Structure formats: structure tokens, C-alpha cells
Structure 1
Amino acid sequence: MAALGRLSQALRSSLTQSRRPLSAAAAGHGHGEHSAKTWKILTYVVALPGVAVCMLNMYLKEQNHSHEQPEFIPYTHLRIRSKRFPWGDGNKSLFHNPHLNALPDGYEGHDE
């Protein structure tokens, strides 16, 4: 039992000693200023050019994108309506796009 008490006391003293130097080092001046400067540089050198490259990539892909309506294929497992939607006419989803989202019997406004 005495050995357990000495072990717990040794652990407690080693934990308190390891905490003191960390808090003393953090209290030093200039540490926060250096990391703030590093993050500011990283923001301007890495993050903003990365966002610009992503925007350029999206713009170029949109220019080459086909804006034709996809062909309607009446698969039986797609567009199943076992229960009506609680908005509108009950047949269209909440974010319905008549150009891209087909209804169970085809696209809107086309008599094919």
C-alpha cells in the first residue's frame, strides 16, 4: 500500500513539473505574434491563390459544359411516388428543376 502511495505521489509531482515549463514558455512574449504572422502569410500565399485556381477551374468547366436536356429513359425503379410530396402538386421534389429533373412520365413541357 505504501508503494502505491509513493507511485501516485511520484506521478503527481512529475505531472506538475511538466506543466510548469509549458506555461512559463507560453507566457514569453513574441510567440503569438510569430504564429499570427505565419498564418497571415499562409493565407495570402496558399489559401487565396488556391481559391482563385478553384474558381478558374469551375469557370472553364462550365464553359465546356453541355446545356442539353438529358434523354428521358423510363426506368421503373426511378421516380417512384408511393406518397405525394406535401408541397405544390405533390409530384415535384422540393428543389425541382424542370430542365434536369424528370417526372415519372417524362420532362415537363415535352410531348414525346
Structure 2
Amino acid sequence: MAAIGRVSQTLLRSSLTQTRRQLSATASAGHGEQAARTWKILSFVVALPGVAVCMLNMYLKMQHHVHEQPEFVPYSHLRIRTKRFPWGDGSKSLFHNAEMNALPAGYESHDE
């Protein structure tokens, strides 16, 4: 068992030495600067405009989205509370949205 460990350590050391030599040879050839420049250009020309187009798309879709409260159906397998939540009044989840999340008895009534 000890011999297997020594052989694996020797192989690991030799592979790390070869990798270091290859990396140092590549860096000295100037390839790294060209690759970094290429990725920098791609980031500014492709990635940032792509993110901007996606943000514009979602903004325009949200302008046409209708925010209606879904109909409450009292299914017996949904909204089961075996114990109270440790915050607030104990019946609402941590990220409760009064307009979209129903309580076990139904939606909260809002008098506006």
C-alpha cells in the first residue's frame, strides 16, 4: 500500500512540473495578453448588450402583464399548517405577499 502511495505522489509531482512548464511557456509567448484582450472585447461587445436587451425585454413584458389575484380554491392538501411560523402572527410565511399568497382560509381582504 505504501508503494502505491509513493508511486502516485511521484506521478502527481511529475505531472504538476510538466503543467507548470507548459503554462510558463504559454505565458512567455504573449498568448495570454491576446486572449485577455479578446475576452475583454467580447464582454463589452456581446455580453453587456445581451444583458441590456434581456432587461429591456423583461421590462416591456411586465408593462403588458396583468396582475390579477388567482381564484382561491380550498384544496385540502395545500396550505397545511401543523405549527405556527415563528415570526409575525404565525400564519404567514416569511416572504408572504398579501395579493398573491393565500392563507389557509383564503386571501386577505383589502379595503381600499
Same-fold call, TM > 0.5?
A: yes
Partner of 1:50: 50
Matched, 1:77 2:80: no
Query: How many residues are aligned here?
Result: 99
Task: From the superposition, tell whether residues 21 and 93 of structure 1 become closer, same or farther in structure 2 (CA, over 3 Å).
Answer: closer
Partner of 2:95: 95
For residues 40-89 of structure 1, what are the alpha-carbon distances to aligned partners after superposition, in whole Å with 9 as ceiling and x for unaligned? 11101211011011101211211121111111111111110011100111
* TM-score relative to the length of structure 1: 0.75
For structure 1, the residue ranges without an aligned partner over 5 or more in a row are 1-7
When the two chains are superposed, the root-mean-square deviation of aligned CA atoms in Å is 2.6
Q: Which moved more, 1:29-38 or 1:50-59?
A: 29-38
Partner of 2:36: 36
DSSP 3-state at the match of 1:32: helix
Distance 1:66 1:92 in 2: 25
Amino acid at match of 1:80: I
For structure 2, the residue ranges without an aligned partner over 5 or more in a row are 1-6
Distance 2:40 2:65 in 1: 36
* TM-score relative to the length of structure 2: 0.75
Give the % identical residues.
68
Regions of 4+ moved over 3 Å: none
DSSP 3-state at the match of 1:25: helix
DSSP 3-state at the match of 2:28: coil
Amino acid at match of 1:94: L
Q: Which moved more, 1:28-37 or 1:38-47?
A: 28-37
Q: Which moved more, 1:20-29 or 1:73-82?
A: 20-29
